[in-house]
Amino acid sequence: MSDLLSKLDPPQRVLMGPGPSDVPARILNALAAPTIGHLDPAYLQLMDQTRQLMRQVFQTENEMTLAISGTGSAGMEACVTNLIERGDRMIACVSGVFGGRMADVAGRYGASVDLVEVPWGEAIRPEQVEAALKAAPQTKAVGIVQAETSTGLLQPLDEIAEIVHAHDALLVVDAVTSLGGMEVPVDRLGIDACFSGTQKNLSCPPGLAPVTFSQRAVEIMDRRKSKVGSWYLDLSMIRNYWGSDRSYHHTAPINMTYALREALQIIVEEGLVARFERHQAMHRRLRAGLEALGLTYIPQHSLPNLNCVRVPDGVDDAAVRRQLLTEYGIEIGAGLGPFKGTAWRIGLMGHSCTARNVTLILAALETILR
C-alpha cells in the first residue's frame, strides 16, 4: 500500500531512442495550465492557433489540418479510414514495421491491399510504385512512410509523389518521425493525407496526432457512399468541432492541446530552416563519432533524427542498452523485427537533438564498448 501511495517520482532520462524525445520544461508547464472546457471560447481560440501553427510546420495551406486525439497510430487510422471504403484498392509501401502497419490498418477497414516491398533498410524505388499502379489502375491511395523508424531510413518522396498523382491516386504519407525534424513539404509534393505524432521531433508527450488533408482528399471524403469505418476517427464529424460549427464530438484532450501549441510555437520561433539544419549538423557529428567507434549504419539513406547502426559482433545488445540506462540515464532503442538484437536506434529528435547529448552518448558508448 505504501508504494501505491508514494509520491510520483519518475527518473530523469536523456531520451535518445526512437521516441518519445525529451520534453522541455516550457511544454511541461503548458500541460500544467488550468484545464478549461472543450467548448470554452478561450479553448476554441487556442485550437485555432494550434491549427495555424500546425499548417506552418506541415508547410501547407490545407484548411483541413487538425490534431486527432490519440497517438501517431490514430493519425494513421484517421487518414486511412476516412479515405478508404470497403473494397477500395490501396497500395502500401513496406520497408519496415510502419509501412506494414499501414497495410494492416487498410486491410482492417476493408481495403484490398497491394504491397510494394523492399528488404528492411532499403528505400522503395519509384519504378516499383509505377509498376504497382500500372498493374492496379483503379488504386485509390498509395501509403508510404517518409521516416521509417524501424530501420532509420529516409524515404525520398519527390518522384513517387509525381507518379502517384500521374495515376490519379491519393498520396498518404506517414510523417510521424519526420515532422518538425526535417522537411515535410505537404503542399510542394501535393501530399493528400499526412499524419504525425507529438512525441518525436515535436518534443511533446505522446497523445495527439497532427493530420492534414488536401482539398482533393476532402472532396473524396465528401463523396463517400458509406460511413467511415471508425466512429471515433470520423472526420465528417470531427471537422465540425474544429471548424465554425464547434459541435461536440468527443471531449478534446485540452491540456495536450496546450502542450502541442507550445511545442509548435517553439518550432516556429526557432524557424524551420534553422531547426532542420540543427538536426543535420547533430546527425553529422553523431555519425562521425559512431563511425570512429567502428559502428556502421544500416540504411542506405539515414534519417538525420534516427540513427540505426549495427550492434558489433560479440557485443550483448541488451546489456549495453541496460548500462546506458542505469549508469548514464540514456535511453536508446533496440532493433525491431529482423533487426532484433542486431541494431541500435539512436534518436536525435527535437529537444534531445543537442551537441551535449551527442557528446554524452559518444563518450558513454566509448566507455562501455572499450
Residues of this chain that interact with ligand PLP (CB under 6 A) are 18-19, 71-73, 76, 98, 145, 147, 149, 174, 176-177, 197, 206
| Cell (9 digits) for 191 | 501530399
| Three cell numbers written together for 299 | 540504411
Q: Are strands 193-195 and 170-174 parallel, antiparallel or unpaired?
A: parallel
Distance in Å, CB of 99 to ligand PLP, minimum: 9
Q: Which is nearer to ligand PLP, 145 or 189 (CB)?
A: 145
Which residue lies nearer to ligand PLP by CB, 59 or 73?
73
CB closer to ligand PLP, 72 vs 335: 72
Minimum gap (Å) between residue 288 Cβ and ligand PLP: 25
Q: C-beta of 103: minimal distance to ligand PLP in Å?
A: 12
> Do the Cβ atoms of 69 and 231 come closer than 8 Å?
no
Give the nearest distance from C-beta 73 to ligand PLP in angstroms.
3
| 17: amino acid identity, one letter | G
Can the peptide bond before residue 185 be classed as cis, meaning omega within 30 degrees of 0? no
Strands 64-69 and 343-347: unpaired
Helix spans in the chain (H): 25-31, 41-58, 72-83, 97-108, 126-135, 158-166, 186-189, 215-222, 235-242, 254-270, 272-292, 317-328, 355-369
Cα separation of 286 and 300, whole Å? Answer: 17
Tell me the closest approach of the beta carbon of residue 325 to ligand PLP, in angstroms: 19
Cα separations (Å) of 169 from 14, 166, 196, 229, 361?
A: 42, 8, 21, 20, 43
Nearer to ligand PLP (CB atom), residue 103 or residue 147: 147
Beta carbon nearer to ligand PLP, 149 or 257: 149
DSSP classification of residue 249: S
Smallest separation (angstroms) from ligand PLP to the CB of 32: 22
Please compute, for residue 231, the number of CA atoms within 13 A of its CA located in the half-sphere on the CB side: 2
Closer to ligand PLP by CB, 116 or 364: give it: 116
User: Per the structure block, which three cell numbers stand in for 147?
Assistant: 521516416
Closest residue (Cβ) to ligand PLP?
72
Which residue(s) pair with 90 in the sheet? 113, 141
Phi-psi region of 305 (alpha: psi -120 to 50; beta: other; left: phi over 0): alpha
Using alpha carbons, list the distances in angstroms from residue 290 to 9, 148, 152, 253: 33, 20, 15, 40
Residue 345 is labelled as binding a ligand: yes
The CA-CA-CA angle for residues 279, 282, 284, to 5°, reads 105
The nearest distance, CB 208 to ligand PLP, in angstroms, is: 10
Closer residue to ligand PLP (CB): 189 or 362: 189
Q: Which is nearer to ligand PLP, 62 or 177 (CB)?
A: 177
Please, what is the minimum distance in Å from the beta carbon of residue 120 to ligand PLP? 13
- Annotated binding residues for substrate, written as ranges, equal 345
- Annotated binding residues, written as ranges, equal 345
